[in-house]
Amino acid sequence: MKLPVMKSNEFDAGLFQKRIRKVQKRLKKGEILILFAATHKIRNRDVEYKFRQNSDFYYLTGIKEEDSIFVLTSDAVGMFCLPKDKEREIWTGIRLGKDKIKSMLDLDFTYDLNDWDKQKSAILIGNHTLYYFFGENPDRDRELLQECKNLSERAREGKFGPHRIEHPYFLHEERLIKSKEEIQILKNAAEITKFGHMRIMRESKPGLYEYELEALLEQEYLKYGSIGGGYGHIVASGKNACILHYVNNDDRLLDGDLVLVDSGAEWNYYTADVTRVFPVGKKFSDAQKTIYEVVLYAQKNAIRQSVTGIPFNEVHEKTVLFLADCLREMGFLKGNLDEILEKETYKKFYMHRTGHYLGMDVHDVGRYFIDGKSRPLKDGQVVTVEPGLYFDPSDDSIPKEFRGIGIRIEDDILINGKEPINLTESIPKEVSEIEALKS
């Protein structure tokens, strides 16, 4: 399947204008939202990391240029952006410029970025509340705090600035529930991810290195218009699978070991997040298959439970209950189930959560608890379901055949009433499917 590639000149102005106006309606008189675009980050000396726009900034504006500043009040919307500069554009690419951006987004005002310092007081004056993602950029934090302080000292002039800074929770509430367009983008990301995972399942063999599988993933992702992985690839063979965020990816694949691959393609600013486990060779060992089947059953059950109205944390709690009971029955945990749960001894084998929100960010935005209670799932949310079991390779109390086994199985689930939709179910995960690919 050849997926459509989102080209740089395909800009859905109506989509972003609609989002801006929707968020604008949440603001009252005297409230202002300021968003800063991402900036280029230095990798070493004058070499920069590959640029990726801030998710919140892109969600509202669709603008991919660095260092821009978006300003929104109840009655005005504008942006400070990179100025047109022929010499700089020769080196780093064509800039949109303030006039084009104003037209694209139907803004009330635009300024060149170098006008920010002399305009920010006027932008903030008369607003009592500043909505801003405090803590993401210390330099910007200090700048805005200082400006608010400066304005507070002008009270005798009858002028004032923000005396309250709040997290723009309402923007993340908008991002939490995915539109039809967003769901389609996530489906595309999932489809690209499938090509990568299936290729490395087929091509893994003893003697290869983990980074060779990582390279195959990136090749498949890039081939279909993805920018690559939406997060660092985890390609963990053998005992490395017991390191949850293993990213070295530099060990040799050994016959008899498993490979845990946690990787998802990012397409048009939305990422998949998938984990699969498969043998380096052709077959699971009996011990590997035993643990794999337990985790797979837990995962399928958790997916079935991911329905509208269920508190998100309840899915995790039920998964813990099942896995703890299995570990007890297999002799890995001692005592009765209540004691195991109370003392959390299961965390020796299962130490992470069963899922998280997914979207533009792999750990996507949105509150998990409201008024101290786990938030019920809603239609249009996308979550991961990813139970696992990990057996410490250095723990002599574990039977030798199980030591170093790490299993996690993860899919991306669209909440849809009582019928959750698995966006990544076409990526093989049954033992028979995986071994058939390897034969």
Helix ranges (H only) for 29-97 are 55-61, 86-92
Amino acid (1-letter code) at residue 14: G
Question: Catalytic residue at 58?
Answer: no
Which single residue is written with the structure tokens 């965020």? 245
Q: Angle at the Cα of 35 (from 222 to 187), degrees rounded to 5?
A: 30
What does 242-264 look like in DSSP terms, one character per residue? GSTT-----PBP-TT-EEEEEE-
Reply yes or no on whether the pLDDT at 124 is more than 90: yes
Reply yes or no on whether the pLDDT at 152 is more than 80: yes
Question: Catalytic residue at 108?
Answer: no
Distance between CA atoms of residues 277 and 197, nearest Å: 10
- pLDDT for 153 equals 85
Helix ranges (H only) for 282-384 are 286-305, 312-329, 337-343
Question: Catalytic residue at 163?
Answer: no
Q: Which of 56, 220, 273, 412 is catalytic?
A: 273
Encoding tokens for residue 274? 């998938």
Q: Which of 65, 214, 386, 411 is catalytic?
A: 386
Least confident of 2-16, 115-129, 336-350: 2-16
Among candidate residues 199, 278, 202, 193, the one with its CA nearest the CA of residue 231: 193
- pLDDT for 4 equals 54
Share of the chain above pLDDT 90, in %: 94
Q: Which of 128, 140, 252, 352 is catalytic?
A: 352
Which single residue is written with the structure tokens 């028979």? 432
Reply yes or no on whether the pLDDT at 202 is more than 90: yes
Question: Catalytic residue at 115?
Answer: no
| Overall average pLDDT of the 412-417 stretch | 98
Please give the mean pLDDT across all residues of the chain: 95
Q: Which of 21, 142, 154, 363 is catalytic?
A: 363
- pLDDT for 156 equals 75
| Overall average pLDDT of the 292-308 stretch | 98
Q: Angle at the Cα of 300 (from 298 to 306), degrees rounded to 5?
A: 100
Q: Are 213 and 204 in contact (CB under 8 A)?
A: yes
Burial of residue 137 (number of CB atoms within 10 Å: 0-12, 13-18, 19+): middle
Confidence of residue 326 (pLDDT cuts 50, 70, 90): very high
Question: Catalytic residue at 364?
Answer: no
- Cβ neighbours for 285, distance < 8 A, ≥ 6 positions apart: 256, 401
Reply yes or no on whether the pLDDT at 8 is more than 50: no
Encoding tokens for residue 310? 């269920």
Reply yes or no on whether the pLDDT at 361 is more than 90: yes
Give per-residue pLDDT as tens, 155-195: 777 788 999 999 999 999 999 999 999 999 999 999 999 99
Reply yes or no on whether the pLDDT at 367 is more than 50: yes
Give per-residue pLDDT as tens, 243-297: 999 999 999 999 999 999 999 999 999 999 999 999 999 999 999 999 999 999 9
Question: Catalytic residue at 408?
Answer: yes
Q: Are 40 and 65 in contact (CB under 8 A)?
A: no
Question: Catalytic residue at 352?
Answer: yes
Question: Catalytic residue at 316?
Answer: no
